Amino acid sequence: MLAVVVNANLAAAAAGGAALAAYAVCARLQVFAGMPEVGISQGLQPITGYNFGSGNLARTLRTRRLGLFATLGYGILAAVVLSLAADPLVRLFVNDPATTTLAANALRILSVGIAAAGVAPLLAGYYQAIGRATPSYLISIGTVVVIKLPHVLVASAHSAEAIWVALSAGECLAALAALALSRYRRTA
């Protein structure tokens, strides 16, 4: 849903096709960079579920904490690498100088959000593993509908760069919302 809104708004933006091509390149790089975060989240789920099921709450909470440190640490490292290597990475996909410049600048902006992108899915997976569907659903769907989508819709009235900032800010705010929810629900 978010990708459809972003694509439609970028196609209509002043940069038009170049902005859409830049987003396509950045989206592929984001997916590639985010794969280890998906692995951390999926690896966390059975460990958390087994420990929670056996009544070992201390180990369950420790697993969550270690998962958060791992995903944040990796996310920050990936963001730094993507930001510093934006130009050569983008040139792997496109040769047009205007699109390359636009995509590299977009990737630098989006990399801020990449640093925090693994937090919300990790916590949603955590709550799913301990059988708490409501917080998992709130994080998974709520952050897209309440945080990310409105940011992109507001930004789309401005420019392609505003959309990049909105996407990045949306990831950071989604991570903060997920962390706030996990602090609020301290019992596991």
Helix-, strand-, coil-residue percentages of the chain, each rounded to 5: 85, 0, 15
Counting the structural domains of the chain, the total is 1
Examine residue 15 and state whether it is found in any structural domain, yes or no.
no
pLDDT given for residue 185 in this prediction: 63
Examine residue 143 and state whether it is found in any structural domain, yes or no.
yes
Examine residue 64 and state whether it is found in any structural domain, yes or no.
yes
pLDDT tens for 144-187 read 888 888 888 888 778 888 888 999 999 999 999 999 988 876 65
Quote the tokens at residue 39.
Answer: 């692995």
pLDDT given for residue 160 in this prediction: 82
Examine residue 24 and state whether it is found in any structural domain, yes or no.
no
pLDDT tens digits for the chain (188 residues)?
555 555 455 555 555 778 888 888 999 999 999 999 999 999 999 999 999 999 999 999 999 999 999 999 999 999 999 999 999 999 999 988 988 999 999 999 999 999 999 999 999 999 999 999 889 998 988 888 888 888 888 887 788 888 889 999 999 999 999 999 888 766 55
pLDDT given for residue 151 in this prediction: 84
pLDDT given for residue 77 in this prediction: 97
Examine residue 150 and state whether it is found in any structural domain, yes or no.
yes
pLDDT given for residue 12 in this prediction: 53
Examine residue 20 and state whether it is found in any structural domain, yes or no.
no
Q: Residue 89 belongs to what domain range?
A: 2-8+43-184
pLDDT given for residue 144 in this prediction: 86
Examine residue 29 and state whether it is found in any structural domain, yes or no.
no
Residues 6+ apart with CB under 8 A from 107: 25, 26, 29, 82, 83, 86, 89, 90
Examine residue 28 and state whether it is found in any structural domain, yes or no.
no
